[in-house]
């Protein structure tokens, strides 16, 4: 009971991935609410604006929402693009109330899928300007951000349901992001799980590890 009272003072912001909605984070939202956290599940127009604008919309507004709820600490759980938005926002906005961050399948070093398909017919239409910025080149957003300076845990998937896209990606991957590309300098912990990119935020093991990191600052060792 005491633990839940303490966690109620903490806000957890959920940020979905590219071309998804807040509904994709519902399983996490329900579990975190049961754990006693105040949860803000953000729905943002991921295909409408470039990453810099989305960071202000999604991260900036969600922080305001947490503040309105009298949260003393603000945590983040992100899927895919959502993690990049947090990195972009926190790079230029220093805050003392940021707690822990868990990123699920983040393209922290970019995705080779974007490198190979960004010029394909219909790619920008389907993925928007933000999708065009998620390659692995030095000119792409992920490679321009540098090390993280917040308490970060990263979960990478090792299974793919899109074998065509996986042919573009070196090594183990989740169908969109490689295990190596999910890593970033400065992260506090890292774990791989047998799950796929589109469904990892609904995976029971992923959810359990997410909650554990938020509570303990490290992932549970099996």
Confidence of residue 203 (pLDDT cuts 50, 70, 90): very high
Over the stretch 31-43, which tens digit does the pLDDT of each residue have?
999 999 999 999 9
SS3 assignment, position 154: strand
Confidence of residue 3 (pLDDT cuts 50, 70, 90): low
Tell me which DSSP letter residue 102 carries.
Answer: E
Closest CA to 100 of 221, 216, 208, 222: 216
Q: What is the pTM of this model?
A: 0.95
Over the stretch 72-106, which tens digit does the pLDDT of each residue have?
999 999 999 999 999 999 999 989 999 999 999 99
φ, ψ (nearest 5 deg) of residue 104:
-105, 115
């Amino acid at each position: 009971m005491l633990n839940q009272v303490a966690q109620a003072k903490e806000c957890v912001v959920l940020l979905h991935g590219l071309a998804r909605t807040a509904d994709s984070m519902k399983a996490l939202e329900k579990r975190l609410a049961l754990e006693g956290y105040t949860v803000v599940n953000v729905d943002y127009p991921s295909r409408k604006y470039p990453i810099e604008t989305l960071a202000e919309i999604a991260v900036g507004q969600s922080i305001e929402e947490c503040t309105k709820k009298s949260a003393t600490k603000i945590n983040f759980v992100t899927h895919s693009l959502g993690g990049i938005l947090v990195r972009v926002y926190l790079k230029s906005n220093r805050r003392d109330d940021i707690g822990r961050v868990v990123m699920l399948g983040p393209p922290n070093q970019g995705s080779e899928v974007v490198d190979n398909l960004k010029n394909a017919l219909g790619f920008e239409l389907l993925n928007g300007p933000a999708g065009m910025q998620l390659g692995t080149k030095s000119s792409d957003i992920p490679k321009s951000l540098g090390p993280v300076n917040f308490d970060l845990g990263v979960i990478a998937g090792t299974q793919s349901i899109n074998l065509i896209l996986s042919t573009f990606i070196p090594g183990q991957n989740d169908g969109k992001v490689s295990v190596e590309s999910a890593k970033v300098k400065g992260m506090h912990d890292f774990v791989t799980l047998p799950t796929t990119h589109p469904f990892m935020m609904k995976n029971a093991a992923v959810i359990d590890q997410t909650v554990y990191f938020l509570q303990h600052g490290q992932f549970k060792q099996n």
